[in-house]
Structure 1
Amino acid sequence: MNNNLVLQTDFGTSDGAVSAMYGVAISVNPAIRIFDLTHDIPQYHIWEGSYRLYQTVSYWPEGTVFVSVVDPGVGSERRSIVAKTALNQYIITPDNGTLTHIKNSIGIVEVRIIDESVNRLPHSGESYTFHGRDVYAYTGARLASNLIAFEEVGPEVPVESVIELPKAEARISNHILTGNIDILDIRFGNLWTNIDRVLFKDLSAGYGDSFEVTIENDTRQVYKNIMTYGRTFADIHLGEPLLYVNSLDKIGVAINQGSFAKAYHIETGASWKISIRKVPKIIYN
């Protein structure tokens, strides 16, 4: 381990919950290095917690310990687990689907259930509503500080037993590429799809080409227009839409210096579909 502990929650920072997790970790090891992934996951939004881990984990060194707490089932029979990734990092989380993207895109090689008889903040045994502090931060700090080995977390369980959320796959049929709006680039309002750049290239896509983009929510069409595939936002005029490759090598949809999500009231999830079809390039005389 490398003493790095990275925290993600849906707690926000308007009260003392995140600070309490910091305090527990520092009490375990004053030299521990604590970082925030985000504490702005929408409340109970397990899918977004899963995606933000996928967005981040692979850029951290081996041995980094992540604690992710988006836990609408806290205190229930859901398992508390530690997963070892194929990149040799560790993720501590409730087993409620938070590991969906990591399992699919990075890989999980071993999973252990947290033995709370050993790995629980002392004198917290009667509290069942703040496992982020009492179980996850405490165990994460001990693991990151080499006070316990991964094998001492608790009993091993099959990787296949980890709960996954439904996750659609992008595909091409009849020269139309379909996928989902997985997540938003929140600050800028860009749409991040589940469409890999490599699959998009199967449409014979080149920079400057034009595409018809359709966005639907269930059976309601929300958006349909022609836009350009650009290398950067500077490739199109201010206020115009474009397709681009985002930082995770997926296809994104944006407005140059505007919020696509706000402009067209677009959200994310399994019901939000996107279709992309190449059209002849429009040339104005």
Structure 2
Amino acid sequence: MSKHLVLQTDFGKGDGAVSAMYGVALCVDSDLKIFDLTHDIPQFNIWEGSYRLYQTISYWPAGTVFVSVVDPGVGTDRLSIVVKTKQNQYVITPDNGTLTHIKQSIGIVAVRQIDEKVNRLPRSGESYTFHGRDVYAYTGARLAAGVISFEEVGPELNVDDIVELPNPLPNLEDGIVHGNIDILDIRFGNLWTNIPRELFLKAGIQYGDSLEVTIANDTQQVYKNIMTFGRSFADSRLGEPLLYVNSLDKLGVAINQGSFAKAYHIEMGYKWKISVRRAPKIIYS
């Protein structure tokens, strides 16, 4: 193992919850290197937890162990699992949809259920509301430190049975590219879609083209306008919208030095749809 342990939660850092997870891990092995992915996932937002893992995991060394705790079902019969990805990394998490993006976009080769008779913090009592500390941080530290192997986590499960959130694939139909608003670039308010650059270019679209962009949720259309496909924000004027390729090689939507999400009250998830096509030519009589 790499001795790298990366933590993600919806706990925030306003109290001692994250610090307790650090302490548990370091008691397992004081040489562990512990990092924060984020602890600012909105409370109970499994979708965003899934995306932030996908956004980050590929840039870490093989053998890195991730612990992700966005767990509105803590204490219920939902499973606690560890998965091994195709890139030879590990994720410890409740089986509640947090692995949706990794399973679909990166790939999972094996999954095991955590045996809490073995992999649970000693003397953690009868508490069933802080699995992030008592089960996940403890098991993650033991795995990252090499105290246990992946096989010693617990019984093997079927990868096909991992819980997934609805996440329709992008598609190209009759010259129109369809996709979802996967996530928001929180600080700048840009929209990050699930439309890969390859699919976009397959439609014959080139930098500098004018495109008609339509955004809708499951109840109504919320935006429709024409904008330019640019290489960078410099390809638009201040305050103008544009399409661009983001850091994950997916299509993004932005306002130059403004928040697109805030301006049009746009959110994220599989219910938020986007379609893009070449702007229709206007014929003046």
Query: Which of the five TM-score ranges fits, normalised by the shorter chain?
Result: over 0.9
Q: Is the 8 A contact 1:209 1:281 kept in 2?
A: no
Structure 1 residue 279: deviation in Å? 2.0
Structure 1 residue 281: deviation in Å? 8.1
Q: Describe the superposition over 1:197-255 as per-residue Cα deviations: whole angstroms up to 9, x where unpaired.
A: 11111221111111000111224121111100000111111111000011111100001
**Partner SS state of residue 59, structure 1:** coil
2:230 maps to 230
1:4 maps to 4
2:213 maps to 213
The question of 1:33 aligning with 2:33 is answered: yes
Q: Aligned letter for 1:245?
A: V
Separation of aligned partners in 2, 1:89 and 1:174: 39
2:56 maps to 56
Separation of aligned partners in 1, 2:74 and 2:5: 21
Count of residue correspondences:
282
1:15 maps to 15
Q: Describe the superposition over 1:107-148 as per-residue Cα deviations: whole angstroms up to 9, x where unpaired.
A: 111111101111110011411000000000000001100111
Divergent runs of 4+, >3 A: none
Q: Aligned letter for 1:39?
A: H
1:268 maps to 268
1:96 maps to 96
The question of 1:175 aligning with 2:175 is answered: yes
Structure 1 residue 161: deviation in Å? 1.2
Q: Describe the superposition over 1:27-58 as per-residue Cα deviations: whole angstroms up to 9, x where unpaired.
A: 11111100000001111111110110000011
Report the TM-score when normalising by structure 1: 0.97
Q: Which runs of 5+ in 1 are unaligned?
A: none
Separation of aligned partners in 1, 2:129 and 2:265: 35
Report the TM-score when normalising by structure 2: 0.97
Over aligned residues, Cα RMSD in angstroms?
1.1
2:241 maps to 241
Q: Is the 8 A contact 1:79 1:95 kept in 2?
A: yes
**Partner SS state of residue 262, structure 2:** helix
Q: Which runs of 5+ in 2 are unaligned?
A: none
Percent sequence identity over aligned pairs: 75
Of 117-126 and 167-176, deviating more is 167-176
Separation of aligned partners in 2, 1:185 and 1:112: 33
